[in-house]
A and B are shown apart, each in its own frame.
Chain A
Amino acid sequence: MGLFFHVGKYYELMLKVFTKPEKRIMYYRQTVREMEALGLNSVGIVLIISVFMGAVITLQTAYNTENPFLPSYLIGLGCRDSMILEFSSTMVALILAGKVGSNIASELGTMRVTEQIDALEIMGVNSASYLILPKIIACILVFPLLTLFSMVVGVAGGWLAVVFTRVITPTDFIYGIQYAFIPFYITYSVIKMVVFAFLITSISSYYGYYSYGGSLEVGVSSTRAVVHSSVFILLFNVILTQLILS
C-alpha cells in the first residue's frame, strides 16, 4: 500500500516537473546555478575518493596476485577496469547520493516548511518544475563529467601508489592501463551515471518537496532520500549491467 502510494505520488510529481517552463531564461539561469552548486562543488570529494580508491585498488590487486604466472601489468589493467566499470559510476554515484541527495532534500524540505514553495505556487509558478527540473538537468549534465574525471584521477591515484610503493614498475603499470582497452566501457559507465543522476535528483527532490512539519521531519526526509537513492542506484546498477553488457 505504502509502496504504491509513493510510486503514484512520485509519478505525479514527475508529470508536474516535466512540463513546459513558464519562462525559459529563468530555468536556464537556475540550471547554471545548480550545475555549480550540485556539480562543480562536488569535484573536491570526487577527486579525493577517486585518487585514494585508485591507489587502494592497485595495492590490493598487487598484494593479492603475487603469482609468477600472472604478468605484473595486469595490476594496471585491474585498476583501470575497476575504476571505469564500477567505481567511477556506481561508487561515485553512491557518494553523490549522500552529498547531493541530502542537499536537495533538505533544501526543498526547508523551503516547504517555511512556506517558500507555497509562496511560489501563490505567484502562479509551477514550483515543482521550477525547483526540480533545473536540478535534474544540471546533474544529468555534470555527473557524467564527474565520472570521466573520476576515471582519470583514479587511474592517476593507482600510478601514484605504484610510484611511491614500487609494488610493480611504473612502466608496467602504464602498459597495463593501455592493454586490451575497450572504449565501450566508458560509454557504459557514462550511461549508468546519467540514470543514477536522474535517480538521485528525482528521488531526493520527491522526499524534500513533500516534507511537512518542522526541522525534525526535514532531517527524516533527507535521510530517506539518501537511503532510497542508494538502494535504487544499486538496483539499477544490476539492471543496466545486464541490459548493456549482456
Chain B
Amino acid sequence: MIEVVHVSKHFSNETVLKDITVTFERGKTNLVIGQSGSGKTVLLKCIVGLLEVDEGDIIYDGVVFNKLNFKDKKSIRKEIGMLFQGGALFDSLTVEENIIYPMDMFTRMTTEEKKERANFCLKRVNMENSNHLYPDELSGGMKKRVAIARAIALNPKYLFCDEPNSGLDPKTSIVIDKLILELTEEFNMTTIVNTHDMNSVMEIGSKVVFIANGMKCWEGTNREILHSDNQVLNDFIFANSLAKHVKNTIKN
C-alpha cells in the first residue's frame, strides 16, 4: 500500500500539487487521471522519489519514503518497477540484456538463472524470441511490453506506469492494459497508472483518482464515474458528444 499524505509541490512560484492525500491499495490497479498539465506526472515522480516533495509524506507500507536517506531509499527502489512513457529501454543493450540488467546489478543469480528469468518475463508479455533484438528494432507497443518485462524482472511490490498507452493504437492499448491488470493481480502488486485513456479507466480502473489544477477533485471506482455528479470530472471524462450521450442515457 502506498499513502500520499498532504503532498504539495512547487516549481519556482508555481504550485503544481496542492495538499494531495490519497491511498493506493495493494492488488489493485490505481489510476490517476487528469488533463495534460494537471500535475499527475509530477505526482508520480514525487511518489517514486524522482522529485522531492515540498510538503507532506509518501508512505510505502508504513515507511516514510521521502524522509529516508539515499541508501535506505535504494532498498525500497529495488522493489519498484516502472514503465515510462517512451519505454526508456537502454539503447545500447538488447532486449534480453535490458531485462537482465537489474538482475546483474542487484542479484547473485547465475547466468543461466538470469536468462531463464528473462525468458519467463518475455513470455509473460508475449515477446518470446525477441531476446536479441535492439530497442530501435521494436514497435511502440513491443517496446512497452519489453519495458513491462524489465519492470517485473525482480518481482517488484510496486508497479508504476506513466501513460502506458500514449502513442499506441486502441487494440494494442487494450493488450497493454490487460497485461498490467493481470500482472497486478498475479503478483499482488500496488500498481499506479497515469493515464488520459478513458478505455483504460473503464477497463482496469479498480480505483480512479482525478486530479485537476494540482488538486485531487474526485476518487472512486470506474463504475462510480458513470454516476458521478462532479462537474469538473464529467467535463473531462465525457468531453465528446458520444460520451455525453452515453452519460445522459445512463442518467435517464
Which A residues form the contact surface with B (CB < 8 A)? 22-23, 26, 110, 114-116, 118-119, 121-126
C-alpha spacing A124/B77, complex, angstroms: 5
Residue among A22, A116, A123, A126 making CB contact with B91, cutoff 8 Å: A116
Mask, B104-132, CB within 8 Å of A = 1, is 11100000000000000000000000000
Residues of B73-106 contacting chain A, CB below 8 A: 73-75, 77-78, 80, 82, 84-86, 88-91, 101-102, 104-106
B176 at the interface (CB under 8 A from A): no
Mask, B49-80, CB within 8 Å of A = 1, is 11000000000000000000010011101101
B201 at the interface (CB under 8 A from A): no
A115 touches B88 (CB 8 A): yes
* A23 closest partner in B (C-beta): B105
Question: Contacts A115-B85, A115-B86, A118-B88 known; A123 to B105 CB distance under 8 Å?
Answer: yes
B48 at the interface (CB under 8 A from A): yes
Residue among A23, A122, A126 making CB contact with B48, cutoff 8 Å: A122
B105 touches A118 (CB 8 A): no
C-alpha spacing A122/B74, complex, angstroms: 9
Residue among A23, A122, A125, A126 making CB contact with B82, cutoff 8 Å: A122
Across chains A and B, which 8 residue pairs bring their CB atoms closest together, nearest first?
Answer: A124-B77, A115-B88, A119-B88, A124-B74, A115-B84, A122-B82, A124-B78, A116-B88
Q: Which of A22, A115, A126: most chain B CB closer than 10 A?
A: A115
C-alpha spacing A135/B48, complex, angstroms: 28
* B106 closest partner in A (C-beta): A124
Residue among B80, B84, B105 making CB contact with A22, cutoff 8 Å: B105
Measured CB to CB, the closest approach of chain B to A145, in angstroms, equals 24
C-alpha spacing A119/B84, complex, angstroms: 8
Which B residues form the contact surface with A (CB < 8 A)? 48-50, 70, 73-75, 77-78, 80, 82, 84-86, 88-91, 101-102, 104-106, 160
Measured CB to CB, the closest approach of chain B to A25, in angstroms, equals 8
By a CB distance below 8 angstroms, the chain B residues around A118 are 50, 84, 88
By a CB distance below 8 angstroms, the chain B residues around A23 are 104-106
Task: Label chain B's interface by main secondary structure.
Answer: mixed
B77 touches A122 (CB 8 A): yes
By a CB distance below 8 angstroms, the chain B residues around A110 are 91
How many interface contacts (CB-CB < 8 Å) are there between A and B? 51
By a CB distance below 8 angstroms, the chain B residues around A114 are 86, 88, 91
Question: Contacts A116-B90, A116-B91 known; A125 to B105 CB distance under 8 Å?
Answer: yes
By a CB distance below 8 angstroms, the chain A residues around B73 are 124
C-alpha spacing A23/B106, complex, angstroms: 8
By a CB distance below 8 angstroms, the chain B residues around A116 are 88-91
C-alpha spacing A95/B126, complex, angstroms: 48
By a CB distance below 8 angstroms, the chain A residues around B48 are 122
* A121 closest partner in B (C-beta): B50
Measured CB to CB, the closest approach of chain B to A127, in angstroms, equals 11
* A33 closest partner in B (C-beta): B92
C-alpha spacing A23/B104, complex, angstroms: 9
B78 touches A123 (CB 8 A): yes
By a CB distance below 8 angstroms, the chain B residues around A126 are 70
* B45 closest partner in A (C-beta): A118
B50 touches A122 (CB 8 A): yes
- Inter-chain pairs besides A22-B105, A126-B70, 9 sampled, C-beta below 8 Å: A115-B85, A116-B89, A121-B49, A122-B50, A122-B82, A123-B78, A124-B77, A124-B78, A124-B80
C-alpha spacing A235/B18, complex, angstroms: 48
C-alpha spacing A230/B80, complex, angstroms: 41
C-alpha spacing A40/B77, complex, angstroms: 36
Can you give 9 A-B contacts (C-beta < 8 A)? A26-B104, A110-B91, A115-B84, A119-B82, A121-B77, A123-B78, A123-B101, A124-B77, A124-B78
By a CB distance below 8 angstroms, the chain A residues around B75 are 124
Measured CB to CB, the closest approach of chain A to B166, in angstroms, equals 13
By a CB distance below 8 angstroms, the chain B residues around A123 are 77-78, 80, 101-102, 105-106
Measured CB to CB, the closest approach of chain A to B81, in angstroms, equals 8
Measured CB to CB, the closest approach of chain B to A28, in angstroms, equals 12
By a CB distance below 8 angstroms, the chain A residues around B82 are 119, 122
Measured CB to CB, the closest approach of chain A to B157, in angstroms, equals 13
By a CB distance below 8 angstroms, the chain B residues around A122 are 48, 50, 77, 80, 82, 160
By a CB distance below 8 angstroms, the chain B residues around A119 are 82, 84, 88, 90
C-alpha spacing A115/B87, complex, angstroms: 8
Measured CB to CB, the closest approach of chain B to A9, in angstroms, equals 16
By a CB distance below 8 angstroms, the chain A residues around B70 are 126
By a CB distance below 8 angstroms, the chain A residues around B88 are 114-116, 118-119
